[in-house]
């Protein structure tokens, strides 16, 4: 559980944040009031103000229609957009601020529909009661800055609890995606979900099936990229939601064999995810790295299908890397992930065991080059996944694996320095191959290119002249081989 929210500190944080954003919210409040409309800061910005978090993205709600909002924001903002008009939302940017203003709403899902039926409401109170959780159902009226908290969001924020404003069954029936959002907010805020909501999520898990794959995917990405993804993922598994959106995760809860010859794959996976998060600074990016985290989550999903018990009771999972990569690709395609993300995660799953062939450093330079070649632009993420995959409690074994991987990374770096940091490619390009061999573009150029690449991987870089001589030698041997095959065929037919 997170530390309880100190109410005095929260009040100070809110006052400081409201003062910081007042040049924007105060001016907008006065503009809407002059036009005869209500305006309030709502949801996440209010919640985060109490948690001491600053944002330049502001969500507001209003009694004005989208058309009236557009007339007010148009002259005020630097840029205006209305992609959310059908849902009552008009957005604009002014300097560093991004503002989205949504008309009071009351919406709900038809039991068989993937899209909510949007209806505009007529009061702030009605708008707040339809929101997902009490900590998101607080508002600050503008320009006067009066706090509206009709459902006890401040108290729930203080106790670190996610609770729905009304009956959770009604809330989740109105919008089943809120069940995913419960897990996501638990992961983001490190909050508990109250018992009534958990019970409703469990009873109503199948309702998530009416939500589009894209919306489920977006919530899953936010959950995985949250500071505490284990909490949210465990909730999805506990309630049965994971069975419907990411069934590969609960499938990792394999029945233990009576001799406990293999580790708990599910708990191991969540630990690998957390360790991959700890290693993210190695990647040099800003913020969470979804590809690295999701690869950690999926790296062992091939184990349930490949588990075998051999004669002495030993458990094996042969080829679970290959099987897991196929499962990962299929699941990510079903969730409508981009092709690039799907290929990156699947590639990491497929390669996550490769390092274990390294032994104590017996790989040749050729094998190291192939490791780098196969990882391609995912090499740094593969370093993270491979290191994170060590969850043994045997400290001597863990230290040995770490030192061995240190050695592999050092060898990769030495080869890069000696041979150039560019991607491994043949010493001659396609045009040079065609010129040297005197052949047109076609299949034979591709064969020659691949042969030169293998030679580059085996022997390292060559000069252009050495590569030319090697290519001509291979071409001559290839021709001799073809002539010999034709002679053999001719003698057999005679």
Residue 215 in any domain: the answer is: no
Residues 13/52, Cβ–Cβ less than 8 Å: yes
81 strand-pairing partners: 91
- Same domain membership, residue 441 and residue 300: no
- What single string gives the DSSP state of each residue in 36-94? T--EEEESHHHHHHHTT---SEEEEEESS-HHHHHHHHHHHSSEEE-TTGGGTEEEEEE
Residue 194 in any domain: the answer is: no
Residues 384/291, Cβ–Cβ less than 8 Å: no
C-alpha span between 301 and 250 (Å, rounded): 10
Q: Name the residue with higher pLDDT: 5 or 32.
A: 32
- Same domain membership, residue 293 and residue 258: yes
Give the up-direction half-sphere exposure of residue 140: CA atoms within 13 A in the CB hemisphere.
24
- Same domain membership, residue 402 and residue 281: yes
Q: Name the residue with higher pLDDT: 10 or 65.
A: 65
Q: Report cis status (omega within 30 of 0) of the bond before 143.
A: yes
Backbone torsions φ then ψ of 312, nearest 5 degrees:
-85, 10
Backbone torsions φ then ψ of 96, nearest 5 degrees:
-85, 0
Residue 55 in any domain: the answer is: yes
Please write the tens of the pLDDT for every residue from 320-347. Answer: 999 999 999 999 999 999 999 999 999 9
Strands 161-162 vs 192-193: parallel, antiparallel or unpaired:
parallel
Residue 85 has pLDDT above 50, yes or no: yes
State the average pLDDT over residues 249-256: 82
Lowest mean pLDDT among 247-261, 359-373, 431-445: 247-261
- Same domain membership, residue 262 and residue 309: yes
Burial class (CB within 10 angstroms; exposed 0-12, middle 13-18, buried 19+) of 303 = buried
Final residue of a structural domain among 124, 158, 192: 158
- Same domain membership, residue 350 and residue 271: yes
C-alpha span between 293 and 227 (Å, rounded): 11
Residue 383 in any domain: the answer is: yes
- Same domain membership, residue 332 and residue 255: yes
Q: Could you tell me the sign of the dihedral formed by the alpha carbons of 150, 155, 158, 161, in that order?
A: negative
Helical H segments across 90-134, by residue range: 124-129
Strands 97-103 vs 57-62: parallel, antiparallel or unpaired:
parallel
- Same domain membership, residue 446 and residue 413: no
Q: Report cis status (omega within 30 of 0) of the bond before 249.
A: no
- Return the SS3 of 7: helix
Final residue of a structural domain among 419, 453, 483: 419
Domain ranges, residue 55: 1-158
Residue 324 in any domain: the answer is: yes
- Same domain membership, residue 447 and residue 415: no
For residue 46, which of 153, 203, 194 has the smallest C-alpha distance? 153
- Same domain membership, residue 141 and residue 27: yes
Kindly report the CATH number assigned to the domain that includes residue 147.
3.30.460.10
- How far apart, in Å, are the Cα atoms of 378 and each of 123, 410, 417? 51, 17, 19
Kindly report the CATH number assigned to the domain that includes residue 341.
1.10.3210
- Same domain membership, residue 411 and residue 275: yes
- State residue 185's pLDDT score: 97
Strands 39-42 vs 57-62: parallel, antiparallel or unpaired:
antiparallel
Residue 422 has pLDDT above 80, yes or no: no
316 strand-pairing partners: 308
C-alpha span between 288 and 272 (Å, rounded): 15
Residue 283 in any domain: the answer is: yes
User: Average model confidence (pLDDT) for the chain?
Assistant: 89
Burial class (CB within 10 angstroms; exposed 0-12, middle 13-18, buried 19+) of 441 = exposed
- State residue 492's pLDDT score: 47
Residue 190 in any domain: the answer is: no
Among 66-70, 263-267, 417-421, the range with the most confident prediction by mean pLDDT is: 66-70
Residue 189 has pLDDT above 90, yes or no: yes
C-alpha span between 137 and 154 (Å, rounded): 10
Residue 184 has pLDDT above 60, yes or no: yes
CA 282 to chain centre: 17
Residue 228 in any domain: the answer is: no
Cβ burial 365-400 (10 Å sphere, 16+ → b, else e): beebbbbbeebeebbbbbbbbbbbbbeeeeeeeeee
Give the up-direction half-sphere exposure of residue 93: CA atoms within 13 A in the CB hemisphere.
4
- State residue 493's pLDDT score: 42
Percent of the chain at pLDDT > 90 equals 62
C-alpha span between 43 and 61 (Å, rounded): 9
pLDDT band at 429 (very low <50, low <70, confident <90, very high): confident
Residues 206/244, Cβ–Cβ less than 8 Å: yes
Final residue of a structural domain among 368, 400, 419: 419
Residue 2 has pLDDT above 60, yes or no: no
- Return the SS3 of 429: coil
Strands 308-309 vs 39-42: parallel, antiparallel or unpaired:
unpaired
- Same domain membership, residue 478 and residue 339: no
- Same domain membership, residue 329 and residue 283: yes
Supply the pTM of this predicted model: 0.81
Strands 139-142 vs 39-42: parallel, antiparallel or unpaired:
antiparallel
Domain tally, the chain: 3
Residues 287/218, Cβ–Cβ less than 8 Å: no
- State residue 70's pLDDT score: 96
- Copy the structure tokens of residue 204: 């109503």
For residue 18, which of 199, 188, 146, 201 has the smallest C-alpha distance? 146
State the average pLDDT over residues 194-206: 97
For residue 318, which of 347, 356, 361, 292 has the smallest C-alpha distance? 356
């Amino acid at each position: 559980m997170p530390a309880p929210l100190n109410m005095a500190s929260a009040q100070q944080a809110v006052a400081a944040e409201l003062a910081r954003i007042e040049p924007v919210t105060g001016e907008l409040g006065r503009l809407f009031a002059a036009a005869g409309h209500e305006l309030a800061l709502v949801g996440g910005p209010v919640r985060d103000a109490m948690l001491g978090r600053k944002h330049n993205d502001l969500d507001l709600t209003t009694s004005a229609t989208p058309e009236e909002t557009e007339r007010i924001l148009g002259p005020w903002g630097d840029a205006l957009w209305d992609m959310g008009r059908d849902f009552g939302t008009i957005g604009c940017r002014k300097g560093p601020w991004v503002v989205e203003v949504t008309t009071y709403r009351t919406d709900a899902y038809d039991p068989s529909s993937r899209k909510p039926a949007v209806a505009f409401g007529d009061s702030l109170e009605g708008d707040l009661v339809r929101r997902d959780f009490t900590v998101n159902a607080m508002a600050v009226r503008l320009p006067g800055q009066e706090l509206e908290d009709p459902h006890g969001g401040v108290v729930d924020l203080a106790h670190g609890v996610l609770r729905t404003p009304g009956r959770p069954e009604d809330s989740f029936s109105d919008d089943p995606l809120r069940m995913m959002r419960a897990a996501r907010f638990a992961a983001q805020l490190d909050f508990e979900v109250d018992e009534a909501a958990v019970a409703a999520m469990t009873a109503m898990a199948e309702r998530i099936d009416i939500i589009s794959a894209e919306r489920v995917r977006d919530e899953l990405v936010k959950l995985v990229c949250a500071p505490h993804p284990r909490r949210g993922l465990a909730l999805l598994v506990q309630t049965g939601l994971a069975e419907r959106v990411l069934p590969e995760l609960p499938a990792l809860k394999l029945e233990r064999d009576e001799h406990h010859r293999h580790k708990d794959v599910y708990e191991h996976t969540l630990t690998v995810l957390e360790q991959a998060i700890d290693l993210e600074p190695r990647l040099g990016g800003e913020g969470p790295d979804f590809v690295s985290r999701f690869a950690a989550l999926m790296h062992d999903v091939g184990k349930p299908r490949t588990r075998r018990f051999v004669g002495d009771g030993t458990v094996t999972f042969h080829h679970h890397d290959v099987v897991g990569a196929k499962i990962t690709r299929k699941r990510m395609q079903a969730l409508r992930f981009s092709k690039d993300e799907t290929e990156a995660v699947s590639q990491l799953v497929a390669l996550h065991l490769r390092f274990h062939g390294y032994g104590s450093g017996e790989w040749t330079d050729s094998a190291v080059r192939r490791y780098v070649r196969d990882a391609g632009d995912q090499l740094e993420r593969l370093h993270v996944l491979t290191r994170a995959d060590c969850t043994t409690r045997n400290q001597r074994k863990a230290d040995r694996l770490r030192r061995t991987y240190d050695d592999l990374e050092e060898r990769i770096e030495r080869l890069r320095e000696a041979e150039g940091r560019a991607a491994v490619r043949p010493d001659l390009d396609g045009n040079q191959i065609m010129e040297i061999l005197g052949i047109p573009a076609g299949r034979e150029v591709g064969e020659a290119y691949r042969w030169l690449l293998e030679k580059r991987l085996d022997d390292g870089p060559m000069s252009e002249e050495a590569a030319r001589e090697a290519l001509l030698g291979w071409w001559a041997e290839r021709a001799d081989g073809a002539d010999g095959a034709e002679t053999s065929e001719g003698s057999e037919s005679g």
